[in-house]
Structure 1
Amino acid sequence: MLGGLSALIAGEVGGIVRRNVTVLALYLLAFLLVAAAVGYGLNALHIVLTFHYGAIAASLWIGGGLLVAALICVIAAAVVKNRRQPVPKLAMAAAAAPAAARLVGSGKIGWKAGIVGGVVMLGLILGRQLAKGDDADEA
């Protein structure tokens, strides 16, 4: 029984890893295409600005615009970095585990009830993870 369960879990993990690698490869390809498009766009802008202001002024305008864009990105990164992180639910459950173990060990709650509770919690966690995966595929 455990062999079949471990094979099922290994198959699910393998599928998830394959899908994530495919998605990341497509994102990388999209990034490269966007970078090429931005390069061509900047070249066209340089040509247009050269006709109006001259080559040196056009290069300075484009360099200044890129500097302003970089500063905006740095400020946005600093804001995102300094935001408070939400406390993961799994960490809260792990923090509550010693108290639950003491209750089960003290005899106030029988060991059978502890096992049933653990199985129920495992089912809830796996059910939520599987439901999240199904919702992401449909969207």
Structure 2
Amino acid sequence: MLGGIGAFIAGEISGAVRRNVTVAVLMGLGVLLMLCAGGYLVAAVHTALALRYGSVEASLVVAGGLFVTGLMAIAIGFYVKNRPRPARPMAATALVAAPLAAKLIGAGLTSKKGWRLALVGGVVVLGALLGRQFFTGDDSGDGEA
């Protein structure tokens, strides 16, 4: 029985990994194409400015615009990094662990081996709840200066 469960879990994991890899590759390709389009946009802006103001002035305007855009991206990154994270509710972990606990307790009522399985399942669920409680919080109090 455990071999069947293991094969089922392995099949589910491999399907999820394959799907996630496909999504990541497609998103990476999309980002690469958008970066190329952004490069062509910058080149087009440079060409338009060069026709109107000259080559040196166009290069200075494009370089200044890219510099300001980079500074804004860095500032937004620092803002997002330093923003406090909301606490995760304990009820979410309990709701995720409840079906597993119910299945293990149901299996535990039928045999001696099942009682051991239910006990191990209870320990796993309790460990998940306690681990989530201990390891959720912001990183502001870890002693970094």
TM-score range, shorter chain: 0.5 to 0.7
Alignment of 1:45 with 2:45, yes or no, is yes
TM-score scaled by length of structure 2 = 0.61
Aligned to 1:75: 75
Alignment of 1:54 with 2:54, yes or no, is yes
Tell me the number of residue pairs that the alignment of Structure 1 and Structure 2 aligns. Answer: 101
In 2: Cα distance, 1:40 partner to 1:84 partner: 38
In 2: Cα distance, 1:8 partner to 1:21 partner: 20
In 1: Cα distance, 2:31 partner to 2:79 partner: 24
Gaps of 5+ in 1: 94-111, 123-139
Aligned to 2:23: 23
Percent identical pairs in the alignment equals 47
SS at match of 1:85: coil
TM-score scaled by length of structure 1 = 0.63
Q: Which amino acid aligns with 1:76?
A: I
Looking at secondary structure, tell me which structure has more helix per residue.
Answer: 1
Alignment of 1:35 with 2:35, yes or no, is yes
In 2: Cα distance, 1:78 partner to 1:51 partner: 38
Q: Deviations over 1:32-56 (max 9, x none)?
A: 1111111111111111100111101
**Larger RCO, structures 1/2 (Cα 8 Å, 6+ apart):** 2
Q: Which amino acid aligns with 1:7?
A: A
1:8 positional shift: 0.6
